[in-house]
Protein backbone atom coordinates (compact mmCIF):
# COMPACT_ATOMS: atom_id res chain seq x y z
CA UNK A 1 0.00 0.00 0.00
CA UNK A 2 1.60 3.29 -1.12
CA UNK A 3 0.67 6.49 0.63
CA UNK A 4 1.17 10.02 -0.67
CA UNK A 5 3.72 12.27 1.00
CA UNK A 6 2.29 13.94 4.11
CA UNK A 7 1.71 17.70 4.01
CA UNK A 8 4.07 17.90 6.98
CA UNK A 9 6.77 16.52 4.67
CA UNK A 10 5.97 18.86 1.77
CA UNK A 11 3.02 16.95 0.29
CA UNK A 12 -0.30 18.47 -0.72
CA UNK A 13 -2.48 19.42 2.29
CA UNK A 14 -5.82 17.66 2.50
CA UNK A 15 -7.47 20.77 3.89
CA UNK A 16 -6.75 24.32 2.82
CA UNK A 17 -9.22 25.90 5.24
CA UNK A 18 -9.82 25.20 8.94
CA UNK A 19 -12.45 22.62 9.85
CA UNK A 20 -15.86 24.24 10.36
CA UNK A 21 -17.30 24.53 13.86
CA UNK A 22 -19.10 21.35 14.87
CA UNK A 23 -22.31 22.81 16.33
CA UNK A 24 -23.22 19.53 18.00
CA UNK A 25 -25.89 21.13 20.16
CA UNK A 26 -28.52 23.70 19.39
CA UNK A 27 -31.58 25.14 21.09
CA UNK A 28 -33.62 21.97 20.44
CA UNK A 29 -31.08 19.80 22.27
CA UNK A 30 -30.88 22.33 25.09
CA UNK A 31 -34.66 22.27 25.53
CA UNK A 32 -34.68 18.44 25.55
CA UNK A 33 -31.99 18.37 28.27
CA UNK A 34 -33.85 20.96 30.36
CA UNK A 35 -37.05 18.86 30.06
CA UNK A 36 -35.15 15.85 31.45
CA UNK A 37 -33.82 17.89 34.37
CA UNK A 38 -37.27 19.40 35.06
CA UNK A 39 -38.82 15.90 35.04
CA UNK A 40 -36.18 14.66 37.47
CA UNK A 41 -36.73 17.60 39.80
CA UNK A 42 -40.52 17.19 39.63
CA UNK A 43 -40.55 13.41 40.23
CA UNK A 44 -37.50 13.06 42.46
CA UNK A 45 -36.25 10.29 40.16
CA UNK A 46 -32.96 10.38 38.32
CA UNK A 47 -32.97 9.95 34.58
CA UNK A 48 -30.67 7.30 33.26
CA UNK A 49 -30.15 4.57 30.78
CA UNK A 50 -33.20 2.79 29.46
CA UNK A 51 -35.66 5.60 30.12
CA UNK A 52 -38.57 6.51 27.85
CA UNK A 53 -36.59 9.26 26.14
CA UNK A 54 -33.66 6.98 25.35
CA UNK A 55 -35.96 4.26 24.06
CA UNK A 56 -37.71 6.75 21.77
CA UNK A 57 -34.33 7.94 20.46
CA UNK A 58 -33.19 4.35 19.85
CA UNK A 59 -36.37 3.50 17.94
CA UNK A 60 -36.07 6.63 15.77
CA UNK A 61 -32.36 6.02 15.17
CA UNK A 62 -32.98 2.40 14.11
CA UNK A 63 -35.82 3.57 11.85
CA UNK A 64 -33.51 6.17 10.26
CA UNK A 65 -31.05 3.36 9.48
CA UNK A 66 -33.77 1.29 7.83
CA UNK A 67 -34.83 -0.86 10.77
CA UNK A 68 -33.20 -3.25 13.14
CA UNK A 69 -32.10 -2.55 16.68
CA UNK A 70 -30.23 0.30 18.36
CA UNK A 71 -29.02 0.60 21.95
CA UNK A 72 -27.63 3.87 23.24
CA UNK A 73 -24.47 3.53 25.32
CA UNK A 74 -22.11 5.93 27.07
CA UNK A 75 -18.92 5.20 25.12
CA UNK A 76 -16.80 2.85 23.06
CA UNK A 77 -16.17 0.25 25.77
CA UNK A 78 -19.89 -0.12 26.37
CA UNK A 79 -20.49 -0.26 22.62
CA UNK A 80 -18.05 -3.18 22.25
CA UNK A 81 -19.61 -4.88 25.29
CA UNK A 82 -23.14 -4.46 23.90
CA UNK A 83 -22.18 -5.63 20.39
CA UNK A 84 -20.35 -8.71 21.63
CA UNK A 85 -23.06 -9.40 24.21
CA UNK A 86 -25.69 -9.34 21.47
CA UNK A 87 -23.83 -12.22 19.80
CA UNK A 88 -24.47 -14.42 22.87
CA UNK A 89 -21.08 -16.07 22.55
CA UNK A 90 -20.40 -19.28 24.44
CA UNK A 91 -17.99 -18.92 27.38
CA UNK A 92 -14.45 -19.65 26.24
CA UNK A 93 -15.08 -18.44 22.70
CA UNK A 94 -12.11 -16.68 21.13
CA UNK A 95 -12.50 -13.09 20.00
CA UNK A 96 -9.70 -11.62 17.91
CA UNK A 97 -8.80 -8.13 19.12
CA UNK A 98 -6.59 -5.36 17.77
CA UNK A 99 -2.98 -5.15 18.89
CA UNK A 100 -3.12 -1.41 19.52
CA UNK A 101 -6.17 -0.04 21.31
CA UNK A 102 -7.20 1.23 24.70
CA UNK A 103 -8.35 -1.30 27.32
CA UNK A 104 -11.96 -0.73 26.25
CA UNK A 105 -11.32 -2.60 23.02
CA UNK A 106 -10.32 -5.74 24.91
CA UNK A 107 -11.90 -5.71 28.39
CA UNK A 108 -15.44 -6.48 27.18
CA UNK A 109 -14.17 -9.77 25.73
CA UNK A 110 -13.00 -11.00 29.12
CA UNK A 111 -16.05 -9.52 30.85
CA UNK A 112 -18.20 -11.78 28.64
CA UNK A 113 -16.14 -14.85 29.62
CA UNK A 114 -14.47 -15.04 26.24
CA UNK A 115 -10.77 -15.22 25.40
CA UNK A 116 -9.11 -12.23 23.71
CA UNK A 117 -6.69 -13.26 20.97
CA UNK A 118 -4.38 -10.52 19.73
CA UNK A 119 -3.67 -10.21 16.02
CA UNK A 120 -0.34 -8.56 15.23
CA UNK A 121 0.00 -4.99 13.95
CA UNK A 122 1.05 -4.03 10.46
CA UNK A 123 4.20 -1.94 11.12
CA UNK A 124 3.15 0.59 8.44
CA UNK A 125 -0.36 1.28 9.73
CA UNK A 126 -0.45 -0.16 13.27
CA UNK A 127 -3.74 -1.82 12.32
CA UNK A 128 -4.56 -5.48 12.42
CA UNK A 129 -3.83 -6.80 8.93
CA UNK A 130 -5.67 -9.47 6.98
CA UNK A 131 -2.58 -11.65 7.23
CA UNK A 132 -2.22 -11.23 11.01
CA UNK A 133 -5.94 -11.93 11.42
CA UNK A 134 -5.77 -15.10 9.33
CA UNK A 135 -2.78 -16.29 11.39
CA UNK A 136 -4.76 -16.35 14.66
CA UNK A 137 -8.15 -17.65 13.53
CA UNK A 138 -8.95 -21.06 15.04
CA UNK A 139 -12.05 -23.26 15.20
CA UNK A 140 -12.91 -21.43 18.48
CA UNK A 141 -12.87 -17.95 16.86
CA UNK A 142 -16.34 -16.44 17.04
CA UNK A 143 -15.82 -12.69 16.52
CA UNK A 144 -13.29 -10.04 15.52
CA UNK A 145 -13.00 -6.54 17.00
CA UNK A 146 -11.32 -4.06 14.65
CA UNK A 147 -9.97 -0.69 15.79
CA UNK A 148 -9.47 2.28 13.50
CA UNK A 149 -6.39 4.10 14.80
CA UNK A 150 -5.66 7.82 14.87
CA UNK A 151 -8.43 8.66 12.43
CA UNK A 152 -7.18 6.16 9.85
CA UNK A 153 -9.57 3.33 9.00
CA UNK A 154 -8.36 -0.24 8.96
CA UNK A 155 -8.45 -2.01 5.60
CA UNK A 156 -11.92 -3.48 6.13
CA UNK A 157 -12.20 -4.93 2.61
CA UNK A 158 -9.10 -7.06 3.17
CA UNK A 159 -10.13 -7.99 6.73
CA UNK A 160 -13.61 -9.02 5.62
CA UNK A 161 -12.21 -11.19 2.85
Residue-wise DSSP of 87-126: TTPPTT-EEEE-SS--GGGTHHHHHTT-EEEEPPBPTTT-
Q: What's 8's DSSP letter?
A: G
Question: Does residue 15 form part of some domain?
Answer: no
Tell me: do 65 and 103 sit in the same domain: no
* pTM exceeds cut of 0.85: no
d(C-alpha 63, C-alpha 66), whole Å: 5
The string of pLDDT tens digits covering residues 128-159 is: 999 999 999 999 999 999 999 888 899 999 99
Domain containing residue 157: 74-161
| Structural domains in the chain (count) | 2
The string of pLDDT tens digits covering residues 91-125 is: 999 999 998 888 888 999 999 999 999 999 999 89
Radius of gyration of the chain (CA): 21
Tell me: do 90 and 114 sit in the same domain: yes
Side-chain half-sphere of 19: how many Cα atoms within 13 Å?
4
Domain boundary among 72, 88, 123: 72
3-state secondary structure of 128: strand
5, 11 contact by CB (below 8 A) = yes
Question: Does residue 57 form part of some domain?
Answer: yes
d(C-alpha 144, C-alpha 48), whole Å: 30
Reported as a pLDDT band with limits 50, 70 and 90, residue 2 is low
pLDDT at 77: 93
Question: Does residue 100 form part of some domain?
Answer: yes
Look at residues 122, 110, 111 and name the one whose alpha carbon lies nearest to residue 146: 122
Amino acid sequence: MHKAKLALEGGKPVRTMPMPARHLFGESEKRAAVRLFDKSIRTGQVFGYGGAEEQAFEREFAKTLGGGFADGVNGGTSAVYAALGALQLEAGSEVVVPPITDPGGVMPVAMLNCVPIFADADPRTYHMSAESLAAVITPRTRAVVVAHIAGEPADMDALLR
